[in-house]
A and B are shown apart, each in its own frame.
Chain A
C-alpha cells in the first residue's frame, strides 16, 4: 500500500495525552482489520490545496486557523481515530488530493466499504470546474462500492467571498453537481452542501451535521435533549464533544450561531482552566471528569451552564437567569438525562457485543423511548417546583 499512518500530526494547547489517543495502526491495510472495525469512517476528499488537512487540524486538533498556512501538502493518507468516546466512534481519513480512486493500486473496496460519509471539499475561491468533475467521479465510484455512503460537499474557504457571490456559487455548484450526478444515472444519490470556513464556526457546524448522520442514536439524543430543556426552562442545549467541540446533538429549536459559539468558547475556558489548575497528582493528566461543571453568568441575564456527561461529552445549556433560580432541579433533571444517555449506549454496546449489526438496527429507537419515559416521569415531579 502506498499510504501509511502519519504519527506526528497534532498541534494544540492540550497536553499530549488529551487527544483521541494514538493513531490506529492498521498495519499495511489488511482488509480483515478494516472489516472488523465497526467505527464509521469519514473520508475527506478534494482537489489538492482545497483545505482538507486544514479542516482536519482545525476541527480535531485545535490548531489555530492561522497556523494552517504553514501546513505542508499531504502526500500520505492520514487516519485519525476519534474512538475514545463511548458515544461517538469514527475515523477521519485525510486523503492527499492527488490520490486517484481509479488507480488500480487503490483498494477502494476496502476503504470505501466501511465508510460512513464522504466529505468532498471544494475550494470556493478557486475555479471549481475541475473539482466538480472530480466530485462526480468520486461520488459515482463510492456509491458503486458502498450504496449507504453519505456524500457531503463542503464549499470551503467562503470567508473570502461576499454574500452575493457565496449564494451564487452555492447555487451554481449545487445545480451543476446534481446535474452531473443525474447524467451519470445517480438521480437518487443525495448530496448535502455546506458553506464552510475555518475562520469561523461554520466548519464545526458542518462537521457536526456530518457526524450526527453517522450516529444512529442521534434522533434519540435529540429527543432526550428536548425533554430536558422543556422541563428545565433551558433555552438551548448542546451536547458537545469535548476535544473537537463539534456538537453531537442539540435540541430541535433552531441553532443560532452565536449560541453555539458561546458554547464552544465556554468549553475552551473550562478545558483550559481544568488542564492548568485541576491536576490532582502528576499521573493524572485528564482532569476533565464526571465532577466537572461550570457556571458563567453573562451581563445580559443569560446563564451558561456546563455539565460533564462523560469523559468525552459535555452538556452546555443556555438559559435565562430567572429560570436558574432552582439549580437543584436542573441538576436533578441533568442526572436523569445522563442516566438515560448511559442506558442508550449500554444498549448499543450490548448489541455490538452480541454481534448484531449495530448501525442498521431498529432497536435503538425502542429503548430510548423507554429512557425518555423515565426522564419524563422524573421531570414531572420537578415541574411543580419549577412552575
Chain B
C-alpha cells in the first residue's frame, strides 16, 4: 500500500543518484542500468525520456552521480565508473542526447556538480584524489586540482562565495578551494576520524554539513577558521546530507548501510531525529529537496523513487519517553518532564504499509495529523522546553555518613581517644549502632599502656577459663548462621525500628535462675517512640552476660533489670538496630541448652553487643574478667557485618583507628577484604568530593596497594609562561624559544636567579619579585593571578 501522497515508480535497476531541474518539475535518476528523466505530476511520475538508449551502451552509461544544471534547462552531467564525465543535452534532436564525453579522469568519478551561477562550469571529484573543472563551452578541462588526499567523495560549490567550493575526501579531510586557483587549497581541516562521504552547504549561514563513516554528521562554521558547531550521532555510516530549505537548523540524511530510512534532524537536538521517512526497503542512495521544505525525493537500492511529504513523516520523538529520572550521589532525585504535554499519539491506519525490509532495520512509525505536527514543530525547534524538578529525600542516611566522614578522626591520638571521639560523632548523627562499635573499640583497646592489654598477652588461662575459651572457637560456624538470619531480618542500619532485640542468652540465664524468660523479656520491652536514646553505656552491662559460671552474673542481671526499668531506652537503643532477630533467637534451641555454646552465637547475633557485654562487666563490675574472651574475632565479625550492610565506613575506619592492634584482626579478615573496604571507602569519599578525608585515609592505610595510591595519577605538566602551550619537560617552549624570559617587573632579561609563581608561571628577578609581593597581591605581569612566592 502506498500512501496517497507518496508516489513511487519501479525502475529497471537501482539508481545511484537523482537530480532535480531548476524549478523542480522534473527529476533525473541515474544508476548502473538506468538513466531516465521523469516529470513530477501531482500524484505520479511520468517518464519524459529514457537516456539509456542506443546500440553502444558502454560504461559511460553506468553512472555514479548525476547533476542538472541550475541555469540551463536542458543540460545534464553524469559521472561514470570508468572515469568519464558525460554531458547530456535534452534539447538535442534524435535519440541520443549525449553531448560530450570528457575522459580525463582515469578512475571512477564520484561526484559532478555545476557551478551555481556560471552555466558553463562543471566540477568533478574523482577516486584518484583529483578534481577537474570543465568548461562546457571549450569542451575541455579548465583546471585540475590535486588534493593530495585519497578519493574525493563530494564536491559542492558554495552558495555564498561564487568561486569557492568544498571537497571532502576519504581520509576525513575537508578542503576549501578557489576555483580560479589550482595550486593549493584555501583551507584544509580534518573533519572526521573516518572517510567523509558527503557535504552540503547551508543556504543562508556559512555552514557546511559533512557526513562520515564514523556515524556522525558535523556542522562546521566556515566563516573564518573552521569551527565545529553541531554534531549529530546516528546509528550507521552516513551517505548523504541535504539541508532542508528555509529551515535554518534542519538537515536530512540517509545512511550508507543498515538503515533504510531518511531522517531529518534538528542540529540542536542531535540524538533523536525530528522526522523519519521509512518507506524504502533498502538503503537510500540519494535525496533531493523539491525547492520547498515539505517535499523531497529519494531513490533507493530497492529500485524505487519516492516523493515524501513532510506531513507523512514519522516522529521518533513521540515514541521516546519525554520523562527522565536520575538519582545523584547524595540521594537527590531529579525528574525532567516536558513543559506541556506532547500531542497525543494516534494510531495511523497507514502504518501497516511497511513491508518487512529483508532483515534490515526499519523503524515502525505513527504519523501525525497536520495540526499535531504543527504543534510538534512549534514545540521542538524552540529547544528543550522542560521542567527540571529536584526532590530531596529527608533524613537520608548517606548524609550522616558524609557528615561523620568529615568529623571522624583517624590519627594523632591513642586508639581509645579516637574511638571515643568517633563514638560521639556517630551518636550525634543518630548512628547508634556505629556508636556502639566505637564504644566497644574504646573499651577493648582503650587500656592505658601501663596495663598491658590483657588480650594481647597470651594468658596462662586459669582453669575456670579454659572451658569458655575452648567453646569459643567451636561455634563459629553457627555464628555465620546467626549473622545471616539477622541480616535478613534487620532493618536499615542505625534506624530505630519497632521491634526489640533480646539476646538469647538472656533467656537462658533467666532459665538458669529459675525465673520465667517472658518476664525478663517484658522488662526490656520499651516503647521506642518514647525512648530517649541516651545512657547507652548502661546498656552494656545489661545485655552482657559473662560466662554463666561467673559469680557476678547475679549482679549483672540485677543491674540489668534495674536499668531496664529505669531507662528503657538504654537497652533498646542498641537492640533496635538489630531488629527482628529475637524471633530467631527464641527458636534456637541449641543456645538454650548450654551456656557456653550459646554465648558466642549470641555474641555475633547482636553484632557489637557481645563485645560491649564482655567489656561492660569489666568496666562496671570486674576488670579481671577481660581476658576470658578474645575480642578480635568478634570485632572482626562486627566489622564484616557492617560492611555487609553497606557501611564500609565503619569497617575501614575502625581498622585504621586500631593502629597497633590492627594485626589482631588480620587472621579473621583477609587482606583482599581489607583492601576492598579501604578502596570502597576512598571511592565513597571521592564521590562526595571529600578529597582531604580520602587523602587522609590513603595516608593512614597500612596496605601497600592502598597507600601507593597517593603516588599514582599525580602528574606535573609544564606550560610555557608566555603562550600557555604545554611544553616539554626541561625544555623551552618551542614556539617561544627565540624569546628569553623577561622579568615581569623590570622587563629585562633575567640572568641568574629566576623566581616564578607556579600558579600563573610569571616571574622575574628574585629580588624584584620579592619587593613586588611585599606591596601587591596580584601578579606583576597583570594576569590577575594571586601569586604566591615561596
Contacts and interface: CB of A to CB of B under 8 A. Distances in A.
Given A252-B127, A301-B358, A226 B171 contact: no
SS class of chain A's interface: helix, strand, loop or mixed?
helix
B462 interface: no
Contacts of B193: 163, 166-167, 170, 195
B371 interface: no
Nearest to B358: A301
B195 interface: yes
Interface string A169-194: 01100100000000000000010111
Interface stretch (A32-40, A61-69, A140-148, A255-263): A255-263
B239 interface: yes
A5 interface: no
A368 to B, nearest CB: 10
A376 B81 CA distance: 13
A209 interface: yes
A369 to B, nearest CB: 9
Given A163-B214, A170-B172, A254 B197 contact: yes
Given A195-B193, A226-B82, A256 B107 contact: no
Given A226-B82, A254-B256, A301-B358, A387 B33 contact: yes
A92 B57 CA distance: 44
Interface in B276-312: none
Contacts, number: 85
Interface in A254-274: 254-259
A252 B64 contact: yes
A178 B359 CA distance: 46
Contact of A167 (B62, B190, B258): B190
Contacts of A163: 193, 214
Interface in B104-141: 106-108, 110, 127-128
Contacts of B728: 129-130
B189 interface: yes
Interface in A89-117: none
A210 B171 CA distance: 12
A89 to B, nearest CB: 22
Contacts of B214: 163
Contacts of A376: 58-59
Contacts of A372: 82
A166 B212 CA distance: 15
A230 to B, nearest CB: 4
Interface stretch (B147-155, B396-404, B686-694): B147-155
B495 interface: no
Interface string B141-172: 00000001111010000000000000000111
B242 interface: no
A77 interface: no
A10 to B, nearest CB: 31
A300 B214 CA distance: 23
A182 B153 CA distance: 27
B257 interface: yes
A256 B257 contact: yes
A299 interface: yes
Interface string A28-71: 00000000000000000000000000000000000000000000
Given A192-B150, A258-B257, A365-B106, A299 B359 contact: yes
A301 B190 contact: no
B589 to A, nearest CB: 57
A190 B148 contact: yes
A219 interface: yes
Contact of B12 (A195, A251, A256, A387): A387
Interface string B304-347: 00000000000000000000000000000000000000000000
A209 to B, nearest CB: 7
A280 to B, nearest CB: 39
Contacts of A194: 171
B384 to A, nearest CB: 22
Given A230-B62, A299-B359, A387-B12, A254 B239 contact: yes
Contacts of B256: 254, 256
Contacts of A195: 193
B213 A222 contact: no
B237 interface: yes
B237 A256 contact: yes
B360 interface: yes
A167 B226 CA distance: 14
A227 interface: yes
Contacts of A257: 213, 237
Given A190-B148, A192-B171, A252 B110 contact: yes
Contacts of B82: 223, 226-227, 372
A61 B256 CA distance: 32
A252 B107 contact: yes
Interface in B168-197: 170-172, 189-190, 192-193, 195, 197
A252 B126 CA distance: 10
B32 interface: yes
A372 B193 CA distance: 35
Nearest to B302: A320
B216 to A, nearest CB: 8
A259 to B, nearest CB: 8
Contacts of B189: 171
A373 to B, nearest CB: 9
B81 A226 contact: yes
Contacts of A223: 81-83, 107-108
Interface string A332-348: 00000000000000000
A174 B190 contact: yes
A256 B213 contact: yes
B632 to A, nearest CB: 43
Contacts of B106: 219, 365
A55 B190 CA distance: 24
B221 to A, nearest CB: 16
A190 B150 CA distance: 11
A377 to B, nearest CB: 10
Interface in B242-274: 256-258
A130 B172 CA distance: 25
Nearest to B146: A190
Contacts of A222: 107-108, 127
Contacts of B258: 258
Contacts of B172: 170
B190 A219 contact: no
Given A256-B237, A299-B359, A300-B360, A230 B32 contact: yes
B171 A193 contact: yes
B272 to A, nearest CB: 19
Nearest to B198: A254
A134 to B, nearest CB: 13
B81 A230 contact: yes
Contacts of B237: 254, 256-257
A321 to B, nearest CB: 8
B66 to A, nearest CB: 16
B359 A301 contact: yes
Interface in A335-387: 365, 372, 376, 380, 387
Contacts of B13: 387
Interface string B187-230: 00110110101000000000000000110000000000000000
A223 B81 CA distance: 7
22 contacts: A130-B728, A167-B192, A167-B193, A170-B193, A171-B189, A171-B190, A190-B148, A195-B193, A209-B150, A219-B107, A222-B107, A222-B127, A223-B83, A223-B107, A227-B81, A254-B170, A256-B256, A258-B257, A299-B359, A365-B106, A376-B59, A387-B12
Given A227-B81, A254-B256, 4 more contacts: A170-B193, A192-B149, A299-B359, A387-B13
Interface of B: 12-13, 32-33, 57-59, 62, 64, 81-83, 106-108, 110, 127-128, 148-151, 153, 170-172, 189-190, 192-193, 195, 197, 213-214, 237, 239, 256-258, 358-360, 728
Closest 6 CB pairs of A and B: A300-B359, A252-B108, A226-B81, A301-B358, A190-B148, A230-B32
